[in-house]
Structure 1
Amino acid sequence: MQSSVYPDLMSIASIHFDVLAPEQAAELLPQRFDALSALLMKKGMIERAEVELSIPDNALETELRAVYLETYEELPPVDPESMRVYRLSLKVDTNSSLNQVAMLYSRLLTPPAALPNDPLALAKEEQFEQPAPYPWFLNIEAKR
């Protein structure tokens, strides 16, 4: 199917999220990604999506652990030694911006910020951001 706005926009892509997380949290991710995939298909943003959870060989584990320890300097909520890197891979056929689709999935890994109604306060939006419970990296492989 071609996009009606941009005829050549349809692309097949692999979106990979490498997440440092405890096993219990990682096992819940495919369900959440499947639920979002169903919504995106209903809205016509994607044609299909396949979700797979695996343990990657080539993960940036050292970097993810450093991010986690830097984020939670005082007392990490989860012992870093009980965590490992999991790869959540999505194969998607998109009808819209691949970056937009990837960012929508990334919201499942990042808590929403409670933003005030005050426009002046919103000028400093970054002060309301919440750290992700588990650090993650994103990699996109697009094919046309």
Structure 2
Amino acid sequence: MNAIIGFTSLAGSHIDNKELLKEYLKKIGTSSEHLLSLINDVLDMSRIESGKVKIDENPLHLPELLNDIRTIIQPTVSSKQLDFLIDTVDVVDEDMIADKLRLTQVLLNILGNGVKFNKTGGMLSLRIKQEKKWYIRK
């Protein structure tokens, strides 16, 4: 919600700069989608508690996911004056099958804790490492 409010304010103050306005609106859209997903997660708590959570298996492009993560977390990172680094190690396969909503939620929870428990002016990093391929046999 902070990202939506912040980027809305920035958009309003740069209304004459079309390119900057487009960038802010894109970030507002990404943050809004995440907020909606959080609201849906709260509404799904009864399913989680009953063990009836459905994991969506859809194609996911890792750079797109990481860009969304950066867009959402950046306002809180900046407000605490943290250096923020996303590092990919030996990632060859950027396309995968995953539940984007759940993966985003997990990563944002981890990064949110990193911001919360970090000192002002500190460092926050996220490292994604690809291990050897493995397959589930059915």
TM-score of the aligned structures, taking structure 2 as reference length: 0.27
TM-score of the aligned structures, taking structure 1 as reference length: 0.26
Give the structure, 1 or 2, with the largest relative contact order (CA under 8 Å, sep 6 or more): 1
Higher percent of residues as helix: 2
